[in-house]
Structure 1
């Protein structure tokens, strides 16, 4: 009896799609390696080109330009198709790597980071639109499982490799070493991209104010990222103001109905906001909990994050082999696992049973593997041809913005409360986000 799995595997790695599958996985892996490696190399980079005061700016420049690239790519893909973003994006990313790797000053480095961030946003949207154009519905869960796996290896080996390269050679090679891989990715994706055409039918509906809203969101997230580094005094006011400004901008760049999680694409984007904010914020603060409250070393405190990454990859691979399961049901299961896993972290923040961090991250990571891939699938299912770019950019903005907002709010809590109070309050609030996502999951069902 013929099964679904061989046909899906053939679609991904058969002669017609093998190059594009490997190419998009490589594109996402490059972004992941760059993200993981820069954080490791940043102390040496700041010591060489700047100072502690400029430490946050390479991150701020990347995040702000990613927002702009994500919004503009969504609009372009709906009007003209993903061909140009998928050709220009990697080239700009490679140029940013070269500029950063050869930079003699902090200002030149920041210019390189702007190019990298912009290209990262453009590529992310282009890949989603390419998946909608190239792969069948049955193959998409497996494709998104591969994209999830594209982040696992970089998260495991990226920091130690970047540390070795920085110590043995120079931080410059953390950027320059990725340039040849960009060329390979472009060569692999080029055949599939060259044949893509602009979407048929009516042009996408006009979205007035989209570009100003994107620039406003970029400014707000830059201010929030900067202020969250030390949210005290005047910076605390900046955190609050940036969150309010960001909320006004997101009304324009998200689909109508997102704040209310209305059935359909509104609930899908809202679900991505909730699950990303809950999981990634917990990941950001768990090492702080384990080092300050339980006295673990930095290396030991990072171990639960590795467990979470492996759980994510395993669950994502599992759902990818089951394309016939309802994605809204898998999303509900994913939110339940995220909520349960984060709930196990609450006693850890209270100074109790630190080893619960491993079980908590294993459960919440598995939940992310189900929820994240399901939401990616549902984005395409709820999108007409002329909306795929806009909706794809919306879910990726939801990822970026929710992490900035909730990590920033966590810093604000630490500024006004003692850590033994702030951290339990923060993680309990993140559990609430996951429970809210559990409640709205049925609204993502396909008609």
Structure 2
């Protein structure tokens, strides 16, 4: 691992690309950019679409008992995919790992699309999780090996934008496909498009030398065992609510398992917010927990307290998606000029302000437009911080550990979100007999946003624009 305050060595492709045009849409990057963004777009589309169709799927396959597992299992297996692909990339480059992850994603989609029972569909979702987790990590390494460092911010801004369109049209499109065709085409249609997207990346993927001159020799088996334990803990967190009066015990046990097992999967001193890369990884988990834990209660509040229809209740999330994309583009263009400290302060302030306004709206029954308009601040804050943390992760990495560090970032993201969602869900359920549920969950999200300042101000600078 490179020293936190020294420029990380570049890979062989970075050296070739020093004089490349300053655009991710330049001819030598065009098809990789299109294909990679398309893969991110399709993974996002599938994740958002399945939320819409899963109630219909469960009813059609008589699988209500496995409804939660269909979601939680995908998150759990994604952690295993992240670790496996990260280690593989460090040993042999990203070509084979990305191809294998895409194949697993495709296999999971096809199995889910043709599933005769809910048990088979859940097995497809588990395989899909392996693919999506691995695909994200492999694409990060592809970015590190193909694009020069000064373009990393713009690539990740494009990745952020690839999540916006699915958030706007994904649920509607999935509903229309289900209504006019069949829910199976929500899975099978994405499978066909994923194959096309991979073909766009494949030509450059297999013709560009992306292997490291000094591949990692770290042992993979211990990390895989830890990944499996983290996956079990994440699954336990997601299902703790089913334990009734023992729910909090389930959460505590799951968190203990995760904390013990996750340490070897993260850079040293991450849980203690060590300076440099460890703080980058920790901050990602905290802001993911803040936003993703709170945002599921935004439409819930609009429906429960303001009698919004499900369609109109999504307005707050739509506004946040748009501001996220806009802020990500700003970060991609001017992130180096703004600097990491300023991005941290602005981003966490915007995220905290959004959660504070949401808590105030719920507590004092403020007009609905206050919640809808101010939740956009959360998207703006995340748009500044999220892609910047990915840029920093690659800047702190060497070709020998780009896969490990990328998987650590994704694991922190997934576990932070899962832990916050599970904890907030139990708090909210415990307070359903009072009016305090919504204000408290938004307050928890605000605390996480403030806590993110601690690692955010310890990230340092990896000379990410000067490599």
Q: TM-score range by the shorter chain?
A: over 0.9
TM-score where L is the length of structure 1: 0.94
TM-score where L is the length of structure 2: 0.90
Alignment match, 2:431: 417
Does structure 1 retain, via aligned residues, the 8 Å contact 2:32–2:204?
yes
Q: CA deviation at 1:82?
A: 0.8
Alignment match, 2:111: 99
Alignment match, 1:3: none
Structure 2: how far apart are the matches of 1:387 and 1:329? 28
1:377 aligns to 2:391 (yes or no)? yes
Structure 2 portions without partners, runs of 5+: 1-18, 463-467
Structure 2: how far apart are the matches of 1:430 and 1:301? 20
Alignment match, 2:326: 314
**Closer/same/farther in 2, CA of residues 231 and 426 from structure 1, 3 Å limit:** farther
Residue 229 of structure 2, aligned match among 216, 219, 229: 216
Alignment match, 2:89: 77
Q: CA deviation at 1:161?
A: 0.4
Structure 1 portions without partners, runs of 5+: 1-6
1:327 aligns to 2:340 (yes or no)? yes
Structure 1: how far apart are the matches of 2:147 and 2:108? 30
Residue 272 of structure 1, aligned match among 247, 262, 284: 284
Alignment match, 1:428: 443
Cα displacement string for residues 294-338 of structure 1 (whole angstroms, at most 9, x for unaligned residues): 333322322101000001001111121225322343233211211
Q: CA deviation at 1:244?
A: 2.0
1:183 aligns to 2:183 (yes or no)? no
1:406 aligns to 2:429 (yes or no)? no
SS of the equivalent of 1:263 reads coil
Structure 2: how far apart are the matches of 1:57 and 1:332? 37
Deviates more, 1:219-228 or 1:18-27: 219-228
Deviates more, 1:424-433 or 1:398-407: 424-433
SS of the equivalent of 1:15 reads coil
Does structure 2 retain, via aligned residues, the 8 Å contact 1:64–1:221?
yes
Alignment match, 2:456: 441
SS of the equivalent of 2:272 reads coil
Structure 2: how far apart are the matches of 1:301 and 1:394? 34
Structure 1: how far apart are the matches of 2:115 and 2:458? 49
Does structure 2 retain, via aligned residues, the 8 Å contact 1:232–1:412?
no
Structure 2: how far apart are the matches of 1:82 and 1:328? 32
Structure 1: how far apart are the matches of 2:220 and 2:192? 38
Cα displacement string for residues 105-125 of structure 1 (whole angstroms, at most 9, x for unaligned residues): 112212211221101011100
Cα displacement string for residues 390-436 of structure 1 (whole angstroms, at most 9, x for unaligned residues): 11101111111111111100111123324522332221121111112
SS of the equivalent of 2:417 reads helix
Does structure 1 retain, via aligned residues, the 8 Å contact 2:290–2:448?
yes
Structure 2: how far apart are the matches of 1:250 and 1:284? 26
1:224-239 matches, cutoff 5 A = 224-228=237-241, 230=242, 232-239=244-251
Q: CA deviation at 1:231?
A: 6.1
Structure 2: how far apart are the matches of 1:23 and 1:10? 19
Residue 55 of structure 2, aligned match among 23, 40, 43: 43
Higher relative contact order (Cα pairs below 8 Å, separated by 6+ residues): 2
Alignment match, 2:148: 136
Q: CA deviation at 1:96?
A: 1.4
